[in-house]
Structure 1
Amino acid sequence: MSTAIVALCFSGPTLADDVSPELVAFARTQAAHIAARTDVIEHIIAQNTNHAHLTLEEISRLDVHWRQQYGSQDSPLIHRLMNTPLSDALRSLQLRSSELITEIIIMDNRGLNVAQSSVTSDYWQGDEAKWQQTFLLGPGAEHVGELGRDESTGSIQIQVSRTVTDHNGHPIGAVTVGVAPLQF
């Protein structure tokens, strides 16, 4: 393990530019492949339809419910999203990555979780750069986050996010892939 990477991890958050280009390229490739999956696109489109009526107040209430359920045995909202075929597929992809991938989050056009490989600490990502600097900017938009400890995974990681588009190229959501530099 490189002494420079260890020093970066323990010196606090730093820009992703300080992380190896190979790690960022790996995360970008993973995010692009996930964003192009038919099952991801279909699930986002379905949730966009189901959530089209939600107000910002209702989204905030859902996020509060998620946060209250986080870490609890009684967690129907979290349980519902974690026990879908898409979340299962994302978990399988994460497990096959030999601990390089720390998390995968699929978000809809409102910034709400559609599926994820592991439980996130919140349900609404719409107030975070991973969604705002991808979905809101349209097709091809990408965001590379800072190196730091993630609250949900407990891992030192960077997150690479990108806009997910439908088969016509219209933005429908976003994907985030967290990767751990200590494993790379």
Structure 2
Amino acid sequence: MLTVLRAFTLIFGFVGGAAFAANTAEENALVYVLKQIVNLEHEGTIWAALAKSNYRNMNLDEREILSQDELWRAEIGTSDPELIGLISATAASAYLRTVVAESEGRITEIIVMDATGSNAAISNVTTDYWQGDEAKFLETFPKGAWAIHQGEIEFDESANTYQRQISVTLVDPIMRTPVGAVTFGVDAAAFP
């Protein structure tokens, strides 16, 4: 696992005057994703989606969130999905789809999660609504600002490819508090 200092060193290319370079596929993928997150953090639609989702879900208990997760799963593949449509039709989700499309195959999916671990914006339909019980959320948001989690390379059903998921806590730029997390699925073959 890379430290945050090493990750930022890889992005900005130096620390203490000494130049560094990414050496491994894991480091190359992390550097790429962290550069994408810098762009994402300047996108107002992402912050608006997080604020709306956090407001909508802040008083729900786990039973209610699991009920929404069941609804999401039941809606997959239906012609008029209410909950999936609520999330996928947002400007933030449209922005994420553009980022994926412009990545030339390097990014397979992007999931923005609110403070409960629920989907706030998605590039494509996920297999579930609640990510709050998965490492992508548990190893980021609850750990606070600057938390980074890199998953192992696995086959992902929703992206239909072998990918590594790289997740980072999202910190409100004004309040400086964690408000959610983001996961980038990256094509394992794109980062040799």
Aligned positions of 1:18-167 closer than 5 A: 19-166=25-172, 167=174
**8 Å Cα contact 2:88/2:123 also seen in 1:** yes
RMSD: 1.7
Q: Which amino acid aligns with 1:69?
A: E
CA distance 1:43–1:74, shift in 2 (3 Å): closer
Structure 1 residue 38: deviation in Å? Answer: 2.9
CA distance 1:20–1:59, shift in 2 (3 Å): closer
Q: Which runs of 4+ in 1 moved over 6 A?
A: none
Structure 1 residue 36: deviation in Å? Answer: 4.8
CA distance in 1: counterparts of 2:42 and 2:154, whole angstroms: 27
Q: Which amino acid aligns with 1:33?
A: N
Structure 2: tracts of 5 or more residues without a match: 1-22
**8 Å Cα contact 1:82/1:88 also seen in 2:** yes
1:180 aligns with 2:187: yes
Cα deviation, 1:157-179, whole Å, max 9, x if unaligned, reads 10111001112210000001111
Which sits farther off after the overlay, 170-179 or 50-59?
Answer: 50-59
Q: Which amino acid aligns with 2:146?
A: G
Report the counterpart of residue 5 of structure 1 in structure 2.
Answer: none
- Percent identity over the alignment is 37
SS at match of 1:123: coil
Report the counterpart of residue 169 of structure 1 in structure 2.
Answer: 176
TM-score (norm: length of structure 1): 0.85
**8 Å Cα contact 1:63/1:124 also seen in 2:** yes
TM-score (norm: length of structure 2): 0.81
CA distance in 2: counterparts of 1:41 and 1:75, whole angstroms: 24
**8 Å Cα contact 1:19/1:147 also seen in 2:** no
SS at match of 2:71: helix
CA distance in 2: counterparts of 1:33 and 1:95, whole angstroms: 15
Bigger relative contact order (CA 8 A; separation at least 6): 1
Q: Which amino acid aligns with 1:64?
A: E
